[in-house]
């Protein structure tokens, strides 16, 4: 089964600052399964919304299809994350290059990376599981 990973760019101050700190042309990443887009957002934590609503939130979106071996575990994982808070510690820890991993809260790229891993997506082993940025995923995904 294929899922779609969306790389997003916004031109607001927060988006610009994130891109600067993350050294990336993208300040957000989300994963789409069917018409549902799952993402971790600063204003609401982990949410699910239709693609038509999601795409209106960004000035630029680039999408990559990814093959996953196990769709059901991926769905279950994403649904179980709904409502969990945004991982602000991930943003604050970035300059210190420490672990961002927190299963109680999610940064956008952490959520997408973990969902792909649960679904058996083909990701390079060289990605640090404890600190994955939108840029890391952009470089790693075909």
Per-residue model confidence (pLDDT) at position 91: 65
The boundaries of the domain holding residue 85 are: 2-140
Note whether 124 and 113 are within 8 A (CB): no
pTM equals 0.89
If pLDDT is split at 50, 70 and 90, which confidence band does 125 have? low
Q: How many domains is the chain partitioned into structurally?
A: 1
Residue 131: which pLDDT band, with cuts at 50, 70 and 90? confident
Identify the CATH number of the domain in which residue 98 sits.
3.90.1720.10
- Residues 47/82, Cβ–Cβ less than 8 Å: yes
The count of C-alpha atoms lying within 13 angstroms of the C-alpha of 103, restricted to the half-sphere facing its C-beta, is 2
Torsion of CA 47, 138, 2, 50, to 10 degrees: 30
pLDDT above 90 as % of the chain: 62
Counting residues of the chain whose pLDDT is more than 70, the rounded percentage is 85
Q: pLDDT category, 9, cuts 50, 70, 90?
A: very high
Q: Considering only CA atoms, which of 6, 3, 134 is closest in space to residue 69? A: 3
HSE at residue 132, side-chain half, CA atoms within 13 A, is 28
Over residues 33-89, the pLDDT tens digits come to 999 999 999 889 999 999 999 999 999 999 999 999 999 999 999 999 999 999 877
Neighbours of 42 (CB within 10 A): 15
CB atoms within 10 A of CB 139: 12
């Amino acid at each position: 089964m294929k899922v779609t990973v969306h790389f997003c760019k916004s031109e607001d101050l927060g988006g610009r600052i994130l891109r600067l700190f993350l050294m990336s042309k993208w300040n957000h990443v989300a994963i789409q399964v069917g018409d549902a887009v799952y993402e971790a957002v600063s204003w609401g934590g982990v949410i699910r919304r239709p693609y038509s609503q999601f795409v209106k939130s960004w000035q630029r979106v680039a999408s990559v299809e990814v093959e996953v071996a196990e769709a059901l575990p991926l769905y279950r994982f994403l649904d179980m994350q709904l409502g969990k808070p945004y991982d602000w510690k991930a943003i604050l820890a970035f300059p210190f290059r420490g672990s961002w991993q927190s299963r109680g809260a999610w940064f956008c790229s952490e959520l997408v990376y973990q969902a792909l891993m649960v679904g058996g997506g083909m990701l390079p082993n060289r990605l640090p599981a404890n600190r994955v940025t939108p840029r890391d995923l952009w470089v790693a995904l075909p």
